[in-house]
Amino acid sequence: MLIAWVRKIAKPQQLSACLDQTGRYAKAAAKAAYELNILDVYLLYLVNPRRIKAHGDQKLRRNKSDTADAKLIAEFLESKSKKLVAWTPTSIDNEKVT
């Protein structure tokens, strides 16, 4: 449902999404987005959470909630998007075998 909504409201490359790369969940979400072919609709960035935290520290952020974190990540993406490299999946040959 979310993917259908995004495709309906966005033109290709119009939206951006940023995930802090904590644990395996961000990479799994990024891979799922890629497999569902929604990366033609938006750019996806996986960012080290320390960079986002440092950005929050610069803004003297004191709140810690899901809403505050989402706003912080959006602010980070807006201010740093020109310096970030969009995520692309690694080739199967480069995947770490677990």
Instruction: Express each pLDDT in 55-93 by its tens digit.
Output: 999 888 877 888 888 899 999 999 998 888 888 887 766
Question: Please, which residues bridge with residue 19 across strands?
Answer: 46
Report the range of poorest mean pLDDT among 8-17, 20-29, 42-51: 8-17
Question: Please, which residues bridge with residue 45 across strands?
Answer: 18
pLDDT of residue 51: 93
- Write down the mean pLDDT value for the chain: 80
